[in-house]
Structure 1
Amino acid sequence: MSRDMGKRIDHIVTRPMPISLTPEELDLENHPIKRASSVIPVRAWTRFYEATVRVDAEAFEWTDKAVHIRWVGSDGQPRSAWYGRMQLTERDRSVSNNVVAE
């Protein structure tokens, strides 16, 4: 394996991934998902193993206690995760920077 290939593999393996709520925490059997007719712009505290980061994101589905959001990471890659409602605030709907288009 070439050195460049090794570096690319290391980058992919170690790329930060958000920590989402677990299936047990979501408890979808008792808290069904509601899908948005249009996305809602939000600011969210996102959790990674490496750090906690506040991002501009879009809420596109939710339960009565959690929200599924998507955003573009600083590396340009799309991200999504489930977070508790208290970790999000709605932002001005006219702002749409750094979010994933539908």
Structure 2
Amino acid sequence: MIDTGAEVSCVNEGIGSMLGLEPVSRYRVKTPSGFSVHNVYQLRVTLGPGLDLPPDPIDVEVPEVEIDVGAMLIGRDILSHGEMAWYGHDERFELVLPRSFVTAL
């Protein structure tokens, strides 16, 4: 889920342990229901892994919180790496992230 109102990205509760990750710190999270402290995990996120040339991976530290939709909420900490456009009439968006190009000699 993409949330342009979220300052930081987060993963759903249980994802860190499911991936066998150890928390790197704790983070005070402000949610609509108030403040709470959660484990933070270090992840390498790749958006669009099925593309022929996917964007570069983004290293982030994300808190683990209860989210209603999906395994991860993508916030402005990840979105700020690229440019996003919303095409309201077509009800679609485009997210362009940096991509390294490797050329063969």
Q: Same fold (TM over 0.5)?
A: no
Q: Normalized against structure 2, the TM-score is what?
A: 0.27
Q: Normalized against structure 1, the TM-score is what?
A: 0.27
Write 1 or 2 for the structure with the bigger share of helix: 1
